[in-house]
Structure 1
Amino acid sequence: MRFGVVILPQYDWPEAAVRWRRAEEFGFDHAWTYDHLSWRGLAGERWHATVPTLTAAATVTSRIGLGTFVASPNFRHPVPFAKDIATVDQISGGRVLLGLGSGGTGFDAYVLGQPQLTPRERFARFAEFAESLDALLRFERGAADGASGISFEGEWYTAAGARMVGEPAQRPRMPLHLAANGPKALDLAVRIGDGWVTTGGDHDDDATWWRSVGDLIHRLDDACAAAGRDPSTIGRTLSLDDGSRYSLASAGAFDEAVGRAAELGYTDVVSHWPREHGLYAGDESVLDEVAARLPALRAIA
């Protein structure tokens, strides 16, 4: 089992730097931040940009993986975003984990004057976004090979001879972790993803939520079987938190959640850094307890 923590981009630097450094010192395998322009009930609070945050985090850490949880096509085009995130990967020494999702239906979906999309349109855009990044982040062949850049023309995105230039910091490209719950998105994750991410859906009842995340593991396995992919070759990341449950409410709650996720077959779990109030409110002393237990949890999970 690998362990991750989400640090929401709400803290000014250098206060934020303390959290990113501590995430590494605590022994977490990866640390993430949301990729939104603002988010739900926190829209009126301080909220910094994703790529600069990860760039700064790369300069104050040396080992921990750094990720987007998850990057959204609501306000991004794959060509400039590929250049941005590849630069972060180079600065970090090849530590970026690129989480990708279909884009929510909140503030980000309309702030640029976008029309409301149907679920089918949102998935089609997500597929193009992910497939385009898959191609771009492998970089084009060198000029000596006669390359003329990377071109594609789809319903949502177009590139005409896009140039990355150089070599990717990770081979063949940084890992893609696709957020997926529905059958089409699961198929996409199996086809091009290195990892799969889920929040398990909106269920207030714990028993129902745990059943749902167990069902999703089976659906992922079925998608792997249909595609002829070895299911052990795709990472399985579960976000343990939502509006009705918080895994870092206590060390005991964290232990229980990790154990249940491991039993279901998840390879990675992610919790949110305790906030002072409201959503994910908690005591940072719990992080100290959890950090001390991570080696033992890795051994049994």
Structure 2
Amino acid sequence: MILPEHRWWIAEPKWRAAEEYGFHHAWTYDHLGWRTLVDGPWFGAVPTLTAAALVTSRIRLGTFVASPNFRHPVPFARDVLTVDDVSDGRFTLGVGAGGAGYDTVVTGAKPLLPGDRTARFGEFVELLDQLLVRDRTTWEGRFYSADEARSAPGCVQRPRVPFVVAANGPKAMAIAARFGQGWITTGPETEDHETWWRGVAEISERFTETLDTQGRTTRVNRYLNLDSAPVYSLSSVECFVDAVGRAAELGFTDVVAHWPRHDGVYAGSEQVVENVAADVLPTLDRQL
């Protein structure tokens, strides 16, 4: 995870390095501003990923995660098509319901109740799915509509770019089970490290039950945001190895860690990333 907070001359080497080090995918936040960093530099996710696509050739790129807080599916589908095209089919669309923070209030919108937010998310994902697989789409929902929306030339990846759906609760999990080629969890909110891992295990079990209930038989990759835990995953090589091992034991296929920052949230050393790339990444395919 490379936060979109640096001018490109600083950010570009990080995206190149992510590929050169051998990581399988690289992501950026899709927010208008984020938590404690809201007053600092911040750039758009779609232009950032487009630029990253032009300086890489192998690594998959994705949003972590796009939400309905400030996006409408019709224009956003054009952005998705563009990044998929520029990256030659290396784009993964991470989507989530969105919270009630800065991304909502900055546009003057009123925060939705949790149930309404999840309902809006369901429409957001369903309409995006149709826009990306059909030549033209007419659709009417409670929160969104489309009138003869065109989608030429379509995605490079067929039938569309893969969706990785963020979900911790049952209704969002049902959306992930229906539309997702992948599922993301951040685990529970807690300051206790062991409690967090126990919560991740419980959430993963609930997702398995949701897949069974939905009758989903095709593979759904499982992504874990390691840095939602109380301990930063790249604080040391040993910490990263421990986190990856635990994730593998719980059945996760993929993990996401944040590129170290100089201070504040996710503060750490890039030397740890280099050591992980040299000593740990070559072993991961045998674990996850």
Residue in structure 1 matched with residue 269 of structure 2 by the alignment: 283
What TM-score do you get using the length of structure 1 for normalisation? 0.93
Quote how far apart the aligned CAs of 1:243 are.
Answer: 7.0
Residue in structure 2 matched with residue 29 of structure 1 by the alignment: 24
Between the two structures, name the one with larger relative contact order (CA 8 Å, sep ≥ 6).
1
Question: Of the candidates 116, 121, 127, which is equivalent to residue 132 of structure 1?
Answer: 127
On the 8 A contact 1:7/1:32 being kept in 2, the answer is: yes
Residue in structure 1 matched with residue 145 of structure 2 by the alignment: 158
Distance 1:157 1:25, change over 3 A: same
Three-state SS of the structure 2 residue aligned to 1:217 is helix
User: 5+ unaligned residues in a row in structure 1: which ranges?
Assistant: 1-5, 141-148
- Partner deviation per Cα, 1:6-35 (whole Å, 9 max, x = no partner): 000001012111000000001000000000
Q: What amino acid is the match of 2:194?
A: A
Residue in structure 2 matched with residue 260 of structure 1 by the alignment: 246
Question: Of the candidates 170, 192, 204, which is equivalent to residue 179 of structure 2?
Answer: 192
On the 8 A contact 1:178/1:197 being kept in 2, the answer is: yes
Map 1:112-123; keep pairs closer than 5 Å. Answer: 112-123=107-118
1:56 is aligned to 2:51: yes
Residue in structure 2 matched with residue 144 of structure 1 by the alignment: none
Q: Distance in 2 between matches of 1:167 and 1:181?
A: 31
Q: Distance in 2 between matches of 1:10 and 1:248?
A: 19
1:210 is aligned to 2:197: yes
Q: Distance in 2 between matches of 1:96 and 1:20?
A: 14
Question: Of the candidates 34, 42, 45, which is equivalent to residue 37 of structure 2?
Answer: 42
Q: Matched residues, percent identical?
A: 54
Question: Of the candidates 92, 99, 103, which is equivalent to residue 104 of structure 1?
Answer: 99
How many residues of Structure 1 are paired with residues of Structure 2 in the alignment? 287
Q: Distance in 1 between matches of 2:215 and 2:287?
A: 30
Quote how far apart the aligned CAs of 1:138 are.
Answer: 1.4
User: 5+ unaligned residues in a row in structure 2: which ranges?
Assistant: none
Q: Distance in 2 between matches of 1:13 and 1:208?
A: 38
Distance 1:37 1:166, change over 3 A: same
Q: Distance in 2 between matches of 1:124 and 1:115?
A: 15
Quote how far apart the aligned CAs of 1:167 are.
Answer: 3.0
Q: Distance in 2 between matches of 1:104 and 1:26?
A: 33
On the 8 A contact 2:77/2:128 being kept in 1, the answer is: yes
On the 8 A contact 1:243/1:279 being kept in 2, the answer is: no
Residue in structure 2 matched with residue 83 of structure 1 by the alignment: 78
Residue in structure 1 matched with residue 287 of structure 2 by the alignment: 300
On the 8 A contact 1:139/1:166 being kept in 2, the answer is: no
Q: Distance in 2 between matches of 1:80 and 1:109?
A: 18
Q: What amino acid is the match of 2:119?
A: A
Residue in structure 2 matched with residue 146 of structure 1 by the alignment: none
On the 8 A contact 2:237/2:275 being kept in 1, the answer is: yes
Q: Distance in 2 between matches of 1:287 and 1:195?
A: 25
CA root-mean-square deviation = 1.0
